């Protein structure tokens, strides 16, 4: 069956070709006036400076880990897997960001012609990032798998390098998410606090010394960070599904390749979908974007049938334990994944759109002050976890009943196969956000600013929606990783002749085992501690921006009158240093936690207790991580849009006390939704994948 | 061994006698001037009106459940157990509140003489509530157990009535916690928002129409609510430990009575401890309170040795599964419980006292605005979960290694045996808070207000510390309940001849079972949903208070000049209605959840899956509940004291922007620490105890 590998590789190349085509289209558009290009250049420069520095730091950590994996714990093939995952995850973010910082000014220029033209450039830029993410991820996994097959790797020699590939992607992703998140929200919160609140100047006003940093942040956080994140989820989940297939269906290569074929098919449907993103007569931007998304989803469901027939045969029978199922069951698992995606998108929109009760209740609560705004926002953020949890639970039950644990894996794989389109919707956000900033700073026509604002408002929703999807898929993907951990462990314990370390290991994952309870509690703690670190880092970074901006207002006369230019690069520089410094320790938390817990429990009790405890910890991280992440991203989105709703003239509109309260809520929501919340995604998976690697290492 | 039952019963009576003695001492003190008595009467009246109405509503729900239990699902002995638990839990709260609303004015009067005299009255009032709570709880469990023994009840006929007693206590407790919490924080937030923030009048200013409601709230929330809460934790944990003993040590009554003897001994040590609460030369109030606490803890550790020797014999050997242990092991488990208590107190104080980094970091963040204050507060609230989680984990590991699951149960029982002293420290809080309010409203000397303020400041810390303890013990107590669920289930499944419903049930609690994952996620969801409801309710209640106060300021001329009296009773009335209405649905959430989940999963899959899912749900509630509750109560306490720290003159002191930001943080923290957070405690246990009852019902 491994001859079918040509298909995902061709599809991956197609995604890159689409990226090249769309890049040409974006870059050939007009970059506007000299003033606009100057501003855009400043943003570009800041973004590149930040990203170079970030990758340098990550690179150093990465090289150490590469050496340890290649020459210490494992071998060079495993090390290479790690390097491929890390480098391509970084590349996805890097290229995406580079497109984004060139598309922003072109979107602003195109908006002079009209809404349609602005949308076209901005969405194309997003689609480039989206398709690069899935294309590179699929190429990485399928390509490296092909290499491993060609050198005759089997068993652990096949699994370990692929898991290491996932680990490489995860490691980059958590650094990018957290570093980018701290940068972007440090800048945003800092700029808002002094600019909007103290000095009373509008957002993106060129007199604000932190304004360039704020625009740089959109690119390094929302674009590069999200790209690395979804690259990782995609790669890790595909690998975990393949590992499960290799355990459940020994000798049946078809099921190993099946997830790769699904990924390949959905790249084609995503490319088709991008051409359906068109403004209709109603000029509804969200409608235009959803059209592309829906076309992709429906075509993917349709494509799943022939792909399943080709890869595994619709009527072929499979067995896992006592459960028998057919290719049809797997097809329906894929459909379940698509339905879960649709439902998660819907519920996130309900909780974060200005149309519905949640956001409006926060806006109403703003009338009675800052305190009630924040209380209501926190209430909504907690409430927003309930329906997604039920959707995920339903997805688990349905796909498990269709095809046992492998059914869950296929559902998540299919869910993630849409990542190209979803990232396109997300990466569109920072482009329009920047375009608005450039329009404001370059003093462009009121009409242009109106168009960029309209594009940007939708960007807020798509960003929130993507986060809901990213977390849902991360949670489910982590469950697949967890299943891989338990199955691996069972396999090692059964074959102690081959894996002598596991001699006498009797893992007891029962909830009645106190070490399982201990593991659940320790795992549950991690997202809280990690979230706390992220929030503190943003608070600290923002505080230093506030101090710097106040200093510039004080020491550089003429800024407020517009006669002197603020020193933008100082703020960019400060944030770069702060973000890089602050991202390291929290990022290492999920890497070290499984290892430390394993050895501590081993010291107190024995191997069996230690493996049970680490396993439970993985699930503990998933359980609280899911709630922490959903509450943070949904709550943050709701706060943001409650402010927008008031700015649209409700509850008194701009300049009232209600508006001031809503700005406070928005500020609080910023690190929630753009730093701590989304960084929980890679965190959940890193904990799981490190545990998986730990097993591999002990078995080695 | 059941002849030893005289001991806990005598100790329970001793606690009531102490209550009578201390009540006389409090009531015989001077109640101050006519003006003071007028204000106190208004608070008394409001508190009684609220509590009567609350108990009427709970009573109606209670009677329905009593009838269903007695004549539908079980029998009259089970129904009676429920009634005893419910009535005595209610009584503990009711009496405690009645003492509290009489001690407040007497504390204010005594403060005219000096700090020592004020502290004496306030602490005595707290000690009455504390000892009533443990006395009534111990009498309820030991007394009803004696009754059941005397009528020859055995097996399920013994267990079910005791579990129902726990359920009765839990049900009252969740209503009292939530209703009281909504009332008190609706009043507090509402009063602060219009009074402090809008009108610029100080706290407890008699011109504020919500001021009486605010003082009523302290009593019904902090005093009656906390009393019912700890009554419940105490009763439920003791019952669960007895249930475990009855399963593990069939025919060995000594271990069944052992937890009751521990409870009895600690009542004596608590009474002794109260006499050590004395101001030293340093006039350190916290030191005086801690002296009493430390004496109680040390004496309890010492008393544990003879009690263990008497009850079970220090060298007697016991076996659970493959684990053997002696009476010595049980003694050390008890000591572990005491050490865990001490560590939880210490860490809560670290996170909520103005002396250390966490509170000061929030105060510092206030300088840059409302937003950064809230961000830092949220960060601290999340961070504050880590060390308590590790302490609890260490407690589990140590006591499990000493004496298996029964060891954990004994550790928690001993931890809770200190509840009398801990509640005394807590119930002291609302008395001093009210005393300050009365001093302010009655326009007493500046010096008196200084003394009541000093007493009140300590009250903030003791309240936070008690909450840390309450949640830690609730989490561990719930683990004991969960153990009872799994052991009960195993017992039923093994004896299907006697319990035909369990024919063919093969419970699989392994984390690899997807229904376990589903249960963990559904359980994890409950504290989030419940917390969201509690926060929303407070926001809504506070909003309506704001509207009412604004109306009175507008429509009753002369309030601000002090020439006209505001209509205090309107605010009390509104809050009473709001709290009663809002408490019902969230309170039913944990009652219905296990039942609904059981039958839904039963419909989808089978009994085995349904029992596994419900079991996992119980643990899911504990895992996220612990983090939600700790983060809320610690965060709320930290926000509160950050405001106090600024009011003490740091970062510019009162009236600055930093102070305004700190007031916002305090407002946000209010429903966190006094409504949603503490109400999670009974919620966790209700879910567990309802599941236990469900098992009993299905076995019936």
CB atoms < 10 A from the CB of A579, how many? 30
Contacts of A376 (CB under 8 A, 6+ apart): A361, A362, A364, A365, B535, B536, B539
Q: Alpha-carbon distance B217 to B183, whole Å?
A: 6
Stretch A20-39: mean pLDDT: 91
Q: Is the Cβ of B627 closer than 8 Å to some Cβ of chain A?
A: yes
Q: Please indicate whether, in this complex, the C-beta atoms of B369 and A197 are within 8 angstroms of each other.
A: yes
Q: Alpha-carbon distance A37 to A48, whole Å?
A: 16
Q: Alpha-carbon distance B50 to B223, whole Å?
A: 13
Look at residue B164 in the predicted model and tell me its pLDDT: 94
Please give the residue of chain A at the shortest CA–CA distance from B521. Answer: A623
Q: Is the Cβ of B217 closer than 8 Å to some Cβ of chain A?
A: no
Residue B680, domain extent: 3-699
List the single best residue of A191, A199, A384, A521 to mutate versus B (max B Cβ within 10 A). Answer: A521
Give the total number of structural domains in chain B. Answer: 1
Residue, of B12 and A154, whose pLDDT is higher: B12
**Mean pLDDT of chain A, nearest integer:** 91
**Three-state SS at A323:** strand
The partner residues of B510 in beta bridges, in order of sequence, read: A510
* pTM reported for the whole predicted model: 0.94
Please give the residue of chain B at the shortest CA–CA distance from A535. Answer: B379
Place of tokens 């976890």: A385
Q: Tens digits of per-residue pLDDT, A320-337? A: 888 899 999 999 999 999
Residue B518 reports pLDDT greater than 80: yes
Structure tokens at B522: 């559904």
Look at residue A553 in the predicted model and tell me its pLDDT: 87
Q: Please indicate whether, in this complex, the C-beta atoms of B522 and A393 are within 8 angstroms of each other.
A: yes
Which residues of chain A from 155 to 174 reach within 8 Å of chain B, CB to CB? none
Q: How confident is the model at residue B568 (pLDDT cuts 50, 70, 90)?
A: confident
Q: What are the CA-CA distances from residue A271 to residues A262, A418, B5 (Å)?
A: 14, 11, 77
The beta-carbon neighbor of A510 closest among B400, B509, B524 is B509
The beta-carbon neighbor of B369 closest among A193, A392, A408 is A193
Please give the residue of chain A at the shortest CA–CA distance from B518. Answer: A393
**Helices B285-311 & B386-417, crossing angle to 10 degrees?**
60
**ipTM value for the complex:** 0.93
Residue B574 reports pLDDT greater than 80: yes
Query: In degrees, to the nearest 5, what angle opens at C-alpha A686 toward C-alphas A680 and A691?
Result: 135
Q: Please list every residue in chain B whose beta carbon sits closer than 8 Å to the beta carbon of residue A478.
A: none
For B14, list phi and psi in degrees, rounded to 5: -55, -45
Q: Tens digits of per-residue pLDDT, A634-655? A: 999 999 999 999 998 999 988 8
Residue A252 reports pLDDT greater than 90: no
Q: Alpha-carbon distance A466 to A426, whole Å?
A: 6
Structure tokens at B421: 């002293």
Please give the residue of chain A at the shortest CA–CA distance from B196. Answer: A369
The beta-carbon neighbor of B511 closest among A189, A371, A615 is A615
Q: Tens digits of per-residue pLDDT, B318-346? A: 988 888 999 999 999 999 999 999 999 99
Q: What are the CA-CA distances from residue A598 to residues A605, A617, A622, A684 (Å)?
A: 10, 10, 18, 17
Residue B392 reports pLDDT greater than 70: yes
Q: Please indicate whether, in this complex, the C-beta atoms of A375 and B405 are within 8 angstroms of each other.
A: no
Which residues of chain A from 188 to 207 reach within 8 Å of chain B, CB to CB? 189, 192-193, 197
Q: Tens digits of per-residue pLDDT, A103-138? A: 999 999 999 998 999 999 999 999 999 999 999 999
Sign of CA dihedral B135, B137, B143, B145: negative
Burial letters for A157-186: b for 16+ Cβ neighbours within 10 Å, e otherwise? ebbbbbbbbbbbbbbbbbbbbbbbbbbbbb
Look at residue A393 in the predicted model and tell me its pLDDT: 96
Q: How confident is the model at residue A456 (pLDDT cuts 50, 70, 90)?
A: confident
Ramachandran area for residue A313 (φ above 0: left; ψ -120 to 50: alpha; else beta): left
Q: Tens digits of per-residue pLDDT, B185-234? A: 998 888 887 887 777 787 788 888 888 888 888 888 878 888 888 899 99
Q: Tens digits of per-residue pLDDT, B663-695? A: 999 999 999 999 999 999 899 999 999 999 999
The beta-carbon neighbor of B386 closest among A408, A512, A525 is A525
Beta-strand (E) ranges in A289-445?
317-320, 323-326
Q: Tens digits of per-residue pLDDT, A168-221? A: 999 888 888 899 999 999 988 888 878 877 777 877 888 888 888 888 888 888
Q: How far off is chain A from B401, nearest CA to CA, in Å?
A: 9
Query: In degrees, to the nearest 5, what angle opens at C-alpha B337 toward C-alphas B334 and B343?
Result: 145
Q: Please indicate whether, in this complex, the C-beta atoms of A376 and B539 are within 8 angstroms of each other.
A: yes
**Helices B568-604 & B34-67, crossing angle to 10 degrees?**
20
Residue A542 reports pLDDT greater than 80: yes
Q: Is the Cβ of A90 closer than 8 Å to some Cβ of chain B?
A: no
Residue A370 reports pLDDT greater than 60: yes
Q: Please indicate whether, in this complex, the C-beta atoms of B667 and A370 are within 8 angstroms of each other.
A: yes
Q: Tens digits of per-residue pLDDT, B376-391? A: 999 999 999 999 999 9
Length of chain A: 700
The beta-carbon neighbor of B615 closest among A511, A522, A524 is A511
Q: Is the Cβ of A396 closer than 8 Å to some Cβ of chain B?
A: yes
**Three-state SS at A153:** coil
Q: Which of A153-157, A393-397, B317-321 reaches the highest mean pLDDT?
A: A393-397
Q: Please indicate whether, in this complex, the C-beta atoms of A664 and B369 are within 8 angstroms of each other.
A: yes
> Which of A102, A137, A112, A107 shows the shortest CA–CA distance to A123?
A107
Q: How far off is chain A from B303, nearest CA to CA, in Å?
A: 28
Q: How confident is the model at residue B2 (pLDDT cuts 50, 70, 90)?
A: low
Stretch A22-45: mean pLDDT: 90
The beta-carbon neighbor of A486 closest among B378, B396, B512 is B512
CB atoms < 10 A from the CB of B265, how many? 26
Ramachandran area for residue A136 (φ above 0: left; ψ -120 to 50: alpha; else beta): alpha
Q: Please indicate whether, in this complex, the C-beta atoms of B396 and A369 are within 8 angstroms of each other.
A: no
Q: Is the Cβ of A641 closer than 8 Å to some Cβ of chain B?
A: no
Please give the residue of chain A at the shortest CA–CA distance from B513. Answer: A405
The beta-carbon neighbor of A532 closest among B193, B379, B486 is B379
**Mean pLDDT of chain B, nearest integer:** 91
Stretch A508-530: mean pLDDT: 94
Q: Please list every residue in chain B whose beta carbon sits closer than 8 Å to the beta carbon of residue A368.
A: 193, 542-543, 546
Q: How far off is chain A from B521, nearest CA to CA, in Å?
A: 6
Structure tokens at B276: 């050590």
Q: What is the DSSP letter of A320?
A: E
Look at residue B1 in the predicted model and tell me its pLDDT: 52
Look at residue B700 in the predicted model and tell me its pLDDT: 79
Q: Tens digits of per-residue pLDDT, B591-644? A: 999 999 999 999 999 999 999 999 999 999 999 999 999 999 999 999 999 999
Q: How many CA atoms lie within 13 A of A36 on its CB side?
A: 27
The beta-carbon neighbor of A528 closest among B371, B517, B631 is B631
């Amino acid at each position: 069956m491994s001859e079918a590998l040509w298909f995902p590789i061709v599809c991956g190349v197609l995604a890159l070709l689409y990226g090249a085509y769309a890049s040409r289209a974006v870059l050939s558009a007009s970059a506007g006036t000299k003033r606009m290009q100057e501003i855009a250049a400043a943003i570009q420069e800041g973004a590149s400076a930040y990203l170079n520095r970030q990758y340098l730091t990550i690179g150093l950590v990465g090289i150490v880990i590469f050496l340890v994996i290649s020459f210490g714990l494992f071998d060079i093939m495993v090390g290479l897997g790690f390097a491929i995952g890390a480098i391509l995850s970084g590349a996805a973010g890097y290229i995406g960001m580079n497109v984004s910082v060139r598309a922003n000014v072109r979107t602003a220029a195109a908006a002079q012609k009209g809404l349609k033209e602005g949308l076209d450039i901005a969405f194309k830029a997003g689609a480039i990032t989206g398709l690069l993410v899935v294309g590179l991820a699929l190429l990485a996994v399928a390509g490296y798998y092909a290499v491993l097959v060609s050198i005759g790797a089997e068993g652990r020699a096949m699994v370990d390098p692929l898991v290491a590939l996932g680990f490489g992607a995860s490691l980059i992703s958590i650094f990018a998410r957290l570093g980018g998140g701290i940068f972007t929200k440090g800048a945003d919160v800092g700029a808002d606090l002094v600019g909007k609140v103290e000095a009373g100047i509008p957002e993106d006003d060129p007199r604000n010394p932190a304004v360039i940093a704020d625009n740089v942040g959109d690119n390094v956080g929302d674009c590069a960070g999200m790209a690395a994140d979804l690259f990782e989820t995609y790669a890790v989940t595909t690998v975990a599904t393949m590992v499960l297939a290799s355990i459940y269906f020994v000798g049946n290569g078809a099921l190993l390749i099946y997830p790769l074929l699904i990924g390949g098919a959905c790249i084609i449907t995503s490319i088709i979908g991008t051409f359906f993103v068109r403004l209709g007569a109603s000029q509804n931007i969200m409608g235009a974007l959803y059209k592309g998304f829906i076309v992709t989803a429906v075509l993917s469901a349709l494509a799943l049938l022939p792909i399943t027939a080709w890869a595994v045969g619709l009527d072929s029978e499979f067995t896992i334990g006592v459960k028998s199922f057919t290719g049809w069951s797997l097809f329906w698992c894929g459909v379940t994944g698509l339905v879960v995606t649709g439902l998660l998108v819907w519920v996130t929109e309900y909780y974060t759109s200005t149309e519905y009760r949640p956001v409006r209740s926060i806006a109403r609560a703003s009338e009675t002050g800052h305190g009630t705004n924040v209380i209501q926002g926190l209430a909504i953020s907690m409430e927003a976890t309930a329906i997604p949890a039920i959707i995920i639970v339903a997805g688990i039950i349905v796909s498990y009943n269709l095809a046992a644990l492998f059914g869950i894996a296929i559902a998540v794989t299919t869910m993630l196969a849409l990542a190209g389109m979803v990232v396109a919707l997300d990466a569109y956000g920072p482009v329009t956000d920047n375009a608005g900033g450039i329009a404001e700073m370059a003093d462009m026509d009121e009409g242009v600013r109106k168009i960029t604002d309209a594009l940007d408002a939708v960007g807020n929703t798509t960003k929130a929606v993507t986060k809901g999807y990213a977390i849902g898929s991360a949670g489910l993907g982590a469950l697949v990783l967890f299943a891989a951990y338990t199955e691996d462990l069972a396999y090692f314990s059964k074959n102690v002749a081959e894996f002598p370390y596991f001699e006498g290991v009797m893992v007891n994952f029962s909830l009645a085992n106190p070490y399982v309870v201990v593991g659940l509690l320790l795992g549950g703690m991690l997202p809280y501690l990690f979230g706390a670190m992220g929030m503190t880092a943003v608070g600290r970074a923002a505080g230093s921006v506030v101090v710097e901006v106040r200093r510039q207002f004080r020491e550089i006369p003429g800024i407020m009158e517009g006669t002197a230019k603020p020193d933008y690069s100082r703020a960019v520089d400060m944030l770069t240093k702060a973000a890089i410094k602050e991202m390291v320790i929290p990022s290492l938390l999920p890497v070290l936690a499984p290892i430390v817990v394993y050895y501590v429990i081993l010291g107190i009790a024995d191997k069996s207790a230690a493996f049970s405890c680490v396993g439970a910890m993985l699930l503990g991280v998933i359980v609280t991580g899911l709630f922490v992440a959903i509450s943070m991203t949904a709550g943050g989105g709701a706060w943001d849009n409650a402010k927008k709703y008031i700015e649209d003239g409700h509850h008194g509109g701009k300049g009232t006390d209600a508006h001031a309260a809503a700005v406070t809520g928005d500020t609080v929501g910023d690190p929630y939704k753009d730093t701590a919340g989304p960084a929980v995604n890679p965190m959940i998976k890193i904990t799981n994948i490190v545990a998986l690697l730990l097993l591999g290492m002990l078995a080695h």
